[in-house]
Amino acid sequence: MDPTTQAALAAVIGAIIAGGSVLAWHISDRQQSRLPQVEEPLVPPGVAAVLSVLRSSAVVVDPDDLVLKASAPAYALGLVRGSEVLVDDLTTLIRQVRRDGQIRETELHLGADSATARTVIARVAPLGSRLVLALVEDRTREKRVEAVRRDFVANVSHELKTPVGAIRLLAEAVTEAADDPEAVERFASRMLTESDRLTTLVQQIIELSRLQGDDPLEAPVSVSLDDVVAAAVDTSTIDAGAKRITLVTTGDHELHVFGSLDQISAAVSNLVANAVAYSDEGSRVLVSTKALGDTAQISVVDQGIGIPAREIDRIFERFYRVDPARHRSTGGTGLGLSIVKHVAATHGGDVNVWSVEGQGSTFTLTLPLQPHALDGDGEPSGPVPMIAPPRRTPSTTHAEEQQEITR
């Protein structure tokens, strides 16, 4: 084959190969254009599933501070709206972590007013090389409990210091008046009074602590309200007699509730003792019992100093007194109504008050009546339902009781 023919054949073969390559490239390009473009996900696999089961608020933020993923609690807490982080302090923390990669944790305060204020703990950490994860725990309840506990300890310390200091001073006075029998007798009598007050305070603190533990009732029994009222009236008879206050009992008899005899007796005794302590000399205190549907109501009505409307919502707080200047003369500890409130809650009941300053007050303890189906030992044959008591109508009930007390 001559050189010219060989050159022509080589040119043809080269053209075929070049054409085939071009065709193959076009075919490959068309096939690739038909395949969907798969982008690498910004949020690592599995993170979304983890966030969905977290009880705490979780937020994943991209390099532009946009929210890529957030748990439901994060929206409920108001940390996130759409793709935006709403808390400026949290955004600042996220940027600091993105800048240096260091895990940070701090306490943040959310909300402008006390009614909506929340205290949270935010922990922010890098998630991979581009994202940041923020975990936020709501600690509002824990902070409030801590504040209540701190106030309780401070109040207890103050209340204990008063009688203890008085007893010490009286003991010193007795020592100095050793040659004066009349003075010794007077100081010793005061010491007994302060000692009794201290004992009552300690007992009520123990009782209140037990009730606040929300422990279930141990060995509940059938409690006769007739016996409870009689014991409460008997306990206050001496104090009432000293002020010439008449104690009157009336209402339905043979009512029984199911629960703790000691707790219910303490609650009613506190109500009667308060009524006597804050009533004027020569007045009357009425204690009545009444069945209303599935509940029993024990009402204590007095003609005392009454409670200002602005104080009504606070009278069940521990150590709170409407008239602090009078607590020494009445011997009160400021815990009685707190105990009543917790006893009512423990037994599935309620306590409420009607009062007008200068006219008197009506405290009503409402408890579920005991079911009639009892076994031979006086115990219920089945579970005892805790029935939520209906709200009473204070004005009508109090008017009827005031008519009774003034007879």
Residue 345 pLDDT more than 90?
A: no
Task: Domains for the chain: give ranges and CATH numbers.
Answer: 47-138 (3.30.450.20), 142-209 (1.10.287.130), 218-405 (3.30.565.10)
Long-range contacts, stretch 50-59, CB < 8 angstroms, 24+ apart: 54/135, 56/135, 56/136, 56/137, 56/138, 57/120, 57/135, 57/136, 57/137, 57/138, 58/133, 58/134, 58/135, 58/136, 59/85, 59/90, 59/133, 59/134, 59/136
Give yes or no for a contact between 298 and 372, defined as CB atoms under 8 angstroms apart. no
Residue 12 pLDDT more than 80?
A: no
As given in the structure block, the two tokens for residue 296 are 């029993």
User: What's residue 125's pLDDT?
Assistant: 92
pLDDT in tens, 220-247: 889 999 999 999 999 888 888 888 999 9
Percent of the chain with pLDDT over 90: 16
The H helix count followed by the E strand count for the chain is 11, 14
The residue-averaged pLDDT of 300-324 equals 73
151: CB partners within 8 A, 6+ apart = none
User: What's residue 82's pLDDT?
Assistant: 87
pLDDT in tens, 284-299: 999 999 998 889 999 9
User: What's residue 227's pLDDT?
Assistant: 93
What's this model's pTM, rounded to 2 decimal places? 0.52
pLDDT in tens, 354-369: 888 888 889 999 999 8
The residue-averaged pLDDT of 125-146 equals 86
User: What's residue 94's pLDDT?
Assistant: 92
Residue 129 pLDDT more than 60?
A: yes
